[in-house]
């Protein structure tokens, strides 16, 4: 195990100190692949609080990340900061506490499924594709019923019997 890695801690050192609280901004390159698009992660800040209790160590962490995302309606780029907390228990059977994976998981879960540049975002025109927040167009998207595809449907003769 790499003792020089700032996210890997020796169990005995934490236990001997009676715990540990650390704040750091690690190299984002290690966590960048946790996101769908390369380059999404712009900054990552961590707070790790280790508490000693009997035969285990509790890690309570907080991750804050600045992400470069794309608006779900207009597809324009935007940057937002998201934060969340996590916890993990490590038994006294481990020699090292490697926090990299638990941090990677917590950071990956920060990115929302849908993000908007503004609640009032008008999105893109469905016909010409222009950003309706910055330009207007004369396109008229036809309103169709969800059942439009069924208008020409002709079912077969019901109740026909087969001979055996």
Summarised one tens digit per residue, pLDDT across range 86-129 is 999 999 899 999 999 999 999 888 888 889 999 999 999 988 89
Q: Which of 91, 118, 88, 92 lies closest to 100, judged by CA? A: 88
Q: What is the secondary structure of 45-91 as a DSSP string?
A: EEEEEEEEETTEEEEEEEEEEEEEEE-TTT--EEEEEEEEEEEEEEE
DSSP state of 114: S
The whole-angstrom separation of Cα 79 and Cα 117 is 9
Mean pLDDT of the residues in the chain: 87
Question: Is 70 exceeded by the pLDDT of residue 79?
Answer: yes
Q: What are the pLDDT digits (tens) for 23-49?
A: 999 988 888 777 777 668 899 999 999
Structure tokens at 136: 């207007």
**pLDDT-derived band of residue 133, with 50, 70 and 90 as boundaries?**
very high
Lowest-confidence pick of 24-38, 123-137, 138-152 = 138-152
Quote the percentage of the chain above a pLDDT of 90: 59
pTM of the model: 0.72
* Predicted local distance difference test score (pLDDT) of residue 145: 66
Q: Are 25 and 46 in contact (CB under 8 A)?
A: yes
Which tops the pLDDT comparison, 160 or 45? 45
């Amino acid at each position: 195990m790499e003792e020089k890695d700032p996210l890997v801690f020796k169990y005995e050192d934490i236990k001997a100190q009676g715990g540990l609280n650390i704040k750091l901004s690690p190299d984002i390159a290690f966590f960048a692949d946790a996101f769908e698009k390369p380059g999404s992660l712009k900054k990552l800040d961590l707070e790790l609080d280790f508490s000693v209790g009997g035969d285990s160590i509790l890690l309570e962490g907080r991750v804050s990340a600045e992400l470069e995302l794309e608006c779900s309606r207009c597809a324009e780029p935007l940057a937002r900061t998201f934060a969340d907390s996590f916890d993990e228990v490590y038994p006294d059977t481990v020699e090292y506490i490697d926090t990299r994976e638990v941090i990677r998981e917590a950071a990956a879960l920060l990115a929302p499924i849908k993000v908007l540049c503004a609640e009032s975002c008008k999105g893109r025109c469905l016909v010409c594709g222009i950003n309706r927040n910055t330009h207007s167009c004369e396109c008229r998207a036809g309103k169709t019923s969800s059942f439009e595809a069924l208008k020409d449907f002709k079912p077969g003769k019901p109740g026909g019997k087969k001979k055996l």
